[in-house]
Structure 1
């Protein structure tokens, strides 16, 4: 009995011990499970509150902006909803998984759609510079804060916005190029196209342009200036002189010397680019023409109160430094200013330009005669200047035209090539109320007429109305002048005597234009004179008179 009881007791003890261990294991399991559940809940809560948690494809709308995530070596556009961006975003979340980027969500609800789409990656804007030493250096020293920056060039030390800056040179327009270097700008002269202008800015990726600083860059024979952007001063020439005013780099080659092109290609574009500085700007000139600058010295003295620099004659060791440099100039339209297209810095118009000229030459009259405002017994006769041409496009019956104008009531003066100084001739033009002439460069003198005066342009035969309107008609109206146009008919042209009425030159001017500019320039402009039909012309003279009422 005792042995059996002992065995039973032993079996009972073993069962008790086994049950005790099982209970312990179950307790441990419950504790571990509870801990795991708590950890899971904490991790889930952490991811739910994290600004970097991946929430699906990056999409934007016009009222919601996307967190601005800084990628290593590239700033992605906030509008990029492509698969590549999603993958980059996913990898960024998985790799960081820390507090480093917390709080950098950049909600910009007031940012326009256009501003966001313009923020393109740096590789697209500047090319791939990742192999350069500076690229590696910049990656190690990126800043997290963002700052405001100007549209062109430097002026800030913010590395983070390199990808978002626009190139300092705009070469998109077919007529001329413009570069704006804002910050540490350094100009170094040299002959034979050796002149350079360098912008030093930590935001500037290394880049280089060849710019012809003239208003018609497509012309042959122009000299180029090298424009560079570099990130560090060590990559730029060291300053030898420093002037704390802006500078403009321009060229005086091209078609300079033709009177109309003097204004259209140089003087008006110079006014557009430099007037905003109020005389506090230095001109750095490529292909400087001293005699030409002297002719227009009154205009240049108002544009700039500083010495004009011949950039090509600057010693190679001279480096001129400025806080702001503009390279190139131009105007969007011919012989005029369109403030909606031309960046004048103050909304200047052609009326402002003619006011500027009157101030430069101390011209007394800003308004023409007003006929109905005089109550005297003998009202004054309005003064008319008729421009006489001596080469092509001559008025073959000029005395008859003069007599017709006098009969209508004008006091007429015939003006040929100026015999006085240019300054005196500008004052003489200002004394007239009306200018009459056949299409040509001489009509450029209308810039000196008082605002409200009348320009009557006689257009030669050959479907030249569009050219005449572009060159003088529209500019005259932009100047505040009254404009009248008289178009020569076939029987008033000397070409009728040369070719006869059945020749294509007379019968089909459109076909002549389609054949190329050569025939148009040679015959319609170069070898044509006109004989005005006085009967047809008289109503136009009456129209001019009415404009002065």
Structure 2
């Protein structure tokens, strides 16, 4: 407003100069107020949040990921009670199919009610189907369906998008004997809401759904596919978790009862046969957290504090009352050092035909030798205690070497790798996990002359002359010959050096 008294205090030039300065100052003030208001409006109104969606197709890991890249939702303190929150590691064969336009409108509507639906990859390891779900979860065994009911105030209909997908709750994909489960996200206004069952049993503790089919019964896969992934998945719950076993095998649960009882306080549920009950949870995991065989890879996902193979071995010591924590440098008895060597025997495939001579050689070098074969019916407790009493474990590549999990720390594992292009698989299964168990690893590669294949095929046959060619034909062609048709006769002169090196490792 014009003030004549104020104006008379300045001449015309001064008034013009002052007016220009005032105009600039007004612009600066207006801009500051506008910026402050916009900033305040954005922090106070979720409608003003920018929703940024990124759709990634990762051909390397064979996964499709939909991520909400806005960080503002997480900074507001997480989800309110009743929110639906999904964390998903999906593959192209078991993925959530959505309409992009519909999804964006849904996320905007969620913002209005301060709700969040996020679709996020949990594990980048391509083998695993691993889903974590939070919300109103209802499990119906009759239809093998996990219903996830969206809250009433979400106000979203999923009629224009498909919010249903199929999963196999087992670490390895595409196995025909693993039951398929359906995850179905349903809203109160959806046409199919009438199919949602009513809860008959409500649980305060979370649940983990997994399958006991697949390769269970094979000693290696029992640990690599089920027991160790169950440990890594349930660790954060500190035993306050329900295990829901699909494809239930009573003998398997009984065989590993001692381990399972240290992972959960509750009885393992045969979920497929819960026909008269609908179990309801607020939090569950479908599938198992699986990185690599008997390993936790921190590069794939940051493990919770304390989660480790070392801790898993401590759990096994408690489960089976294993006394020895460390391999000893010497054994006192008759005054001589007697490290104990255990040879894992095999009577069918990959048998060591001169095991008696190998045992005799080991005794001459100063070992006390025991031999044993791990069968499906073997008492795990007794076998684990025998392995734990040894300082060195050796055997031809196979499931029996999984008993390395019971060895004391600083023990030595000797893997005899059969002839053929299977070195990579052998090392993946046993060499790579050994470091996490604090076990020293030695490897003895069988030559063509030591292999029974040299007696089954002529010298110029591709099986002997070009083993690499069988690798390109696929796993079935490779394993059917080099794993299923091969026995080994150890060259004692060559193997003497490996046994001597194991002794040296024990003494240092």
CA 1:306–1:500 in 2, change beyond 3 Å: closer, same or farther?
same
Paired residues of 2:145 and 2:184 also in contact (CA < 8 A): no
Partner of 2:233: 273
In structure 2, runs of 5+ residues without a counterpart are 1-22, 55-69, 76-96
Contact 1:169 1:177 in 2 (8 A): no
Residue deviations 1:323-352 (CA, integer Å, cap 9, x gap): 321111141212322244355433522222
Distance 1:536 1:277, change over 3 A: same
Query: Is 1:182 paired with 2:134?
Result: yes
The reply on whether 1:210 has 2:166 as its aligned counterpart is: yes
Counterparts in 2 of 1:216-255, with a 5 A limit? Answer: 216-232=172-188, 235=193, 236-255=196-215
In structure 2, the partner of 1:3 is none
The whole-number CA distance in structure 2 between the counterparts of 1:471 and 1:65 is 56
Tell me the SS of whatever aligns to 1:320: strand
Query: 2:19 maps to what in 1?
Result: none
Q: Indicate the residue corresponding to 2:34 in structure 1.
A: 51
Q: Does 1:386 align with 2:343?
A: yes
Structure 2 distance, partners of 1:311, 1:257, is 20
Tell me which residue corresponds to 1:443. Answer: 401
Equivalent residue, structure 2, for 1:308: 268
Match of 1:258 in 2: 218
Tell me the distance in 1 between the aligned counterparts of 2:144 and 2:71.
47
Equivalent residue for 1:526, pick from 463, 467, 484? 484
Question: Which deviates more, 246-255 or 179-188?
Answer: 179-188
SS of residue matched to 2:493? helix
Measured in 2, the distance between the counterparts of 1:545 and 1:336 equals 27
Q: 1:265 to 1:50 in 2, by over 3 A?
A: same
- What is the deviation of 1:404? 1.0
Give runs of aligned pairs for residues 409-488 of structure 1, distance below 5 A. Answer: 409-417=366-374, 421-488=379-446
**Greater gyration radius:** 1
CA 1:204–1:421: 2 relative to 1, 3 Å? farther
Map Cα deviations across residues 138-185 of structure 1 (whole Å, 9 max, x no partner): 95x975xxxxxxxxxxxxxxx2453xx422775975312222122433
Cα deviation digits, residues 112-162 of structure 1 (max 9, x gap): xxxxxxxxxxxx977444899xx69x95x975xxxxxxxxxxxxxxx2453
Is the deviation greater in 43-52 or in 256-265? 43-52
Aligned residues: 437
Q: Distance in 2 between matches of 1:255 and 1:107?
A: 41
CA distance in 2, matches of 1:131, 1:503: 61
Task: Give the structure 1 partner of residue 144 of structure 2.
Answer: 194
| Separation (CA, whole Å) in 2 of partners of 1:295 and 1:535 | 41
Find the aligned partners of 2:388 and 2:465 in 1 and give their Cα distance.
41
Is 1:387–1:416's contact at 8 Å kept on the other side of the alignment? Answer: yes
Aligned to 1:84: none
Q: 1:468-522 CA deviation, whole Å, 9 max, x = no partner?
A: 1101111122211111000011111111111133222111111221233233111
**SS, match of residue 404 in structure 1:** helix
User: Do the aligned residues in 2 keep the contact of 1:222 with 1:253 (CA within 8 Å)?
Assistant: yes
1:402: which partner in 2?
Answer: 359
Query: 1:209 Cα shift?
Result: 2.5
For CA contacts below 8 A with separation 6 or more, give which structure has more relative contact order: 2
- Whether the 8 Å CA contact 2:124–2:300 is kept in 1: the answer is no
Q: Do the aligned residues in 2 keep the contact of 1:66 with 1:107 (CA within 8 Å)?
A: no
State the distance in 1 between where 2:315 and 2:71 align. 47
Partner residue in 2 for 1:4? none
Q: TM-score, normalised by structure 2?
A: 0.76
Q: Does the aligned pair in 2 maintain the 1:339–1:348 contact within 8 Å?
A: no
Deviation at 1:54, TM superposition (A): 13
User: Structure 1: which 5+ runs fail to align?
Assistant: 1-39, 56-63, 81-105, 112-123, 144-158
